[in-house]
Structure 1
């Protein structure tokens, strides 16, 4: 039996370490830059310019200890009396554009404005010139996304000024939709029109608010940003964007798929990359890459621990031997998951009730993870199951964590909730159904990769539903309510 080549081993065991997403945020003091950064990237403390946005040099790199996957550069904008700031920003963009290393390049610019009142002025002279430079191509390909802040204040103002007589008989939802439509009309007049005049018709823009009821405006902004970065830069840069942000779980799943496709998912069935390596070693690499993409605030590295890795392995084995749900049965994924999680979280809300993960009694670390990996029915199916289950457990954990520091209790709760949901059994059934239909040879050159993607995407919860579900789930609790791993053992 031939051994794995040195090059193959380097590919397999190389650590996935994408460069940080580097962003320049431009805007006047008070426009809401710090709040925007804190919400999008899941950090609690203001990091822009040492709590004084605009005071630091544009070259200063702000990196949060709560999320070190992005680098922030801050600019105070183009206010009257600060005409030289346009040259400072232009020089910064030019220097970053000419840097060869991806981690030093600038990946996106957010140009922030507070939405003005009707009749108010959106653009200062310096901003108009900046947009002309961008439109002419002088600033290169780095995407500029216009961010119109404090959208909630526009909605509130419009709702206060609505004619009560015209609202007779309308439901609350209808009134909100009516106000939103009026807001869109006003935005076109006072914001979008002036932008198109100086930046062209296709200037990407997003109106946002960091208030609780406007979470979907933030997901839309990061989705626009990721799309622009992918279009104007490289796929790797788009992946960096998805990893850094903490508001759009769908982009996490998309990034996880992109990383897996490029590195080795297809090799699970069609190459010798994994051949003769210990199965546990292969799982170690798969697990590490998937966890890194989700970029939780995990200072204790609980998601990388042996205990959590073994928990996922045991889950795969448990589902292997137990009856599985009918994969053709249609269920409402979001409602099914939130009902399960809300019930479990409510029952275990206090620190007095330790969470016991329902792994089969007497289960020990599965023998198959220590075996030498060969292309076989059982091993391929388990690799596929591991990837899918781990990704969806992390999606559940995303619902529970809200960018807070991870605890073992929260992780165990995510596993418990996922196992108790119909989703876990259906995922395994779908993989089983696929795997039994194909021979090993067919798997080697057909759609193993596509099936993994299909299963994960089918059970992913979109960003809007995530926001709604989070509102219905009780808080998990702080790190002071943590508990050891041992409670999950039988």
Structure 2
């Protein structure tokens, strides 16, 4: 896919200023830091060289080739009274603070604390002192309570003989409620004593079959992004410094791109990045005139795919083959319905060849492959975008943004079943395309056509609210897989 004479992707601008999300993870050996990082950022820390197993230097930059947008600093924690460790930490914060370029700063701290055994203390004195030190740096801190599943299993051992006889779902609900009550007592209460407005998340370890705690990861990422969003708001309201607000917003964008634990964060990041420039006022955009429609589409494609940050070293999601497959899907929503035959020929023959009865709207992947890219569509994409847009152009942009976002949402679900840092292949991509075209594209395209009806097109252009409809369609048709996790 060529980017020659294309509008500059917004993600290029963001990543030029802040190419990596820099995280300091603090916690003792065995607390579950490596597993947490592997699953949250889709890497494999075991492949990253360390000086000595079980040791770490807070100054070291740990960078994985499997995620270009993430850099880790690791600390084993701080023993009370160890002056040398705290002086090292102070020097580290100074070297990674606001006086250095944005890309070199620590952007967030995850303090990992294992959910304690019964009767043991959740916070050591060193943890409390570190939180006080971190507070002076104004770096957002999330306290991450790990191995919550151990607490749940402990509750199983407290069941009476009568309770054990309940059905499995009742037992699970009972243990979960008891674990929740115990967690509030032994973990949250001490944290609130140190900080009345704590930011925390909790995660569980891997299941017996290697399954991930998806909901816990998603909650951690949501908490982190929300906290950084609050920091952005603080910059605007208190400092009244536009540049500082812009800087913290850039870090939020990079953090949303870097994570691989939450599809919702990918969707939110993709929408916010799109709204920053090219999606806003897309019905009559002043950003695209003078560029060919194909090149405008290329830029939208790059921004959306980059926002999802799949482990894709072969750049399968950026190659012409995938771009053409996406265009095969979106092209069907572009022409007027009475001009469909002029663009694609007799679709009834295509449906018959595929062994499927249907009309223009029902689309499945084999049918899309049978249609191929229309010659009329290809020729139309080679035309230059004009300031006075058309219903066809608006349907193209809306359709492509929503189609691609929802295909990647399906792909996220498929990839989530694979081990961390597993490389993307055509198999997963084609499966995501097939799932989306079978389940949702019909409804999505029908809603876009209804919205872009020519009778209302002038009103749409004047209101410049098409981007709100795009967001609405994505929200309505996304998988919502994380919400269904136990």
TM-score by length of 2: 0.81
State the partner residue of 2:238: none
The answer to whether the 8 A contact 2:327-2:373 is kept is: no
Deviation at 1:55, TM superposition (A): 2.2
State the partner residue of 1:454: 472
- Segments of structure 1 that go 5 or more residues without pairing to the other structure are 1-5, 324-354, 469-490
Give the secondary structure class of the aligned counterpart of 2:42: coil
**1:2-401 correspondence runs (5 A):** 17=15, 19-46=19-46, 50=50, 55-79=55-79, 82-134=82-134, 137-140=135-138, 142-168=139-165, 170-198=166-194, 200-211=195-206, 212=211, 214-233=213-232, 234-320=248-334, 358-361=368-371, 363-364=373-374, 366-374=378-386, 375-401=389-415
Cα 1:12–1:243 shift into 2, 3 Å: closer
Give the secondary structure class of the aligned counterpart of 2:96: helix
Deviation at 1:47, TM superposition (A): 5.9
The answer to whether the 8 A contact 1:25-1:33 is kept is: yes
The answer to whether the 8 A contact 2:460-2:466 is kept is: no
The answer to whether the 8 A contact 2:21-2:254 is kept is: yes
CA distance in 1, matches of 2:481, 2:431: 21
The answer to whether the 8 A contact 1:34-1:48 is kept is: no
Deviation at 1:445, TM superposition (A): 2.9
Give the secondary structure class of the aligned counterpart of 1:68: coil
Q: Deviations over 1:89-134 (max 9, x none)?
A: 2332233222342211211101011111111122222212222344
CA distance in 2, matches of 1:116, 1:83: 26
Cα 1:188–1:409 shift into 2, 3 Å: closer
State the partner residue of 1:404: 422
Deviation at 1:238, TM superposition (A): 2.1
Cα 1:213–1:75 shift into 2, 3 Å: closer
Q: Deviations over 1:402-449 (max 9, x none)?
A: 35211122212221221122x101111111111115233542433111
Greater displacement, 117-126 / 282-291: 117-126
Deviation at 1:368, TM superposition (A): 1.9
1:464 aligns with 2:476: no
The answer to whether the 8 A contact 1:219-1:463 is kept is: no
Deviation at 1:360, TM superposition (A): 3.5
CA distance in 2, matches of 1:247, 1:12: 23
State the partner residue of 2:438: 420
Q: Deviations over 1:201-246 (max 9, x none)?
A: 2111122113226321111111111111121242322222221111
CA distance in 1, matches of 2:212, 2:113: 20
The answer to whether the 8 A contact 2:22-2:107 is kept is: yes
Deviation at 1:71, TM superposition (A): 0.7
Greater displacement, 80-89 / 255-264: 80-89
Greater displacement, 223-232 / 403-412: 403-412
CA distance in 1, matches of 2:53, 2:301: 38
Give the paired residue count.
425
Q: Deviations over 1:116-169 (max 9, x none)?
A: 1111122222212222344xx4232x111111111111111111222222455x
CA distance in 1, matches of 2:456, 2:30: 60
The answer to whether the 8 A contact 1:256-1:290 is kept is: yes
TM-score by length of 1: 0.80
The answer to whether the 8 A contact 1:59-1:92 is kept is: yes
Deviation at 1:183, TM superposition (A): 1.3
Deviation at 1:19, TM superposition (A): 2.3
Provide the aligned C-alpha RMSD in A. Answer: 2.6
CA distance in 2, matches of 1:112, 1:47: 22
Greater displacement, 148-157 / 124-133: 124-133
Q: Deviations over 1:54-106 (max 9, x none)?
A: 62321211111111211100001013574422232233223322234221121
CA distance in 1, matches of 2:334, 2:172: 48
CA distance in 2, matches of 1:379, 1:82: 65
State the partner residue of 2:463: 445
The answer to whether the 8 A contact 1:399-1:466 is kept is: no
Q: Deviations over 1:1-42 (max 9, x none)?
A: xxxxx9x95688966535211100001111111111011111
CA distance in 2, matches of 1:126, 1:153: 24
- Segments of structure 2 that go 5 or more residues without pairing to the other structure are 233-247, 338-364
CA distance in 2, matches of 1:57, 1:156: 34
Deviation at 1:387, TM superposition (A): 0.5
